[in-house]
């Protein structure tokens, strides 16, 4: 799947070529087809996360600790009935532990 990135202030179109996690954030490589130039950006604000069932099993707890992730409990909500259905553990990566 090709992702299209639009810089509104310059009205330029870029295609996302590659993205990777580094110790400082998400580094993305973009391509501008109109001028054939590549552009690299570093997003230090994005915090990748994943969900696993709550409560965490011992193996899940070990994995989360090894990744250096922070964990908090969240509830999934049915958008049609507004009822809360499932409790999940949201685990957010800490960049200085990765890469």
List the chain domain ranges. Answer: 4-43, 49-97
Q: Higher model confidence: residue 8 or residue 94?
A: 94
Cβ atoms 76, 88 nearer than 8 A: yes
Contact 39, 32 (CB under 8 A): yes
pTM of the model: 0.55
Write the pLDDT tens digit of every residue in 20-44: 988 888 899 999 998 999 999 999 8
Query: Phi and psi of 81, rounded to 5°?
Result: -110, -10
| Segment 46-80, tens digit of pLDDT | 888 888 888 889 999 998 888 888 898 888 887 88
């Amino acid at each position: 799947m090709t992702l299209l990135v639009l810089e509104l202030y310059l009205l330029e179109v870029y295609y996302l070529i590659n993205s990777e996690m580094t110790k400082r954030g998400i580094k993305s490589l973009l391509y501008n087809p109109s001028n054939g130039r590549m552009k690299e950006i570093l997003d230090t604000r994005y915090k990748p996360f994943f969900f696993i069932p709550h409560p965490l099993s011992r193996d899940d707890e070990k994995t989360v600790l090894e990744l250096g992730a922070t964990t908090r409990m969240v509830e999934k909500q049915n958008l049609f009935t507004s009822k809360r259905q499932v409790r999940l553990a949201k685990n957010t990566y800490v960049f200085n532990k990765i890469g």
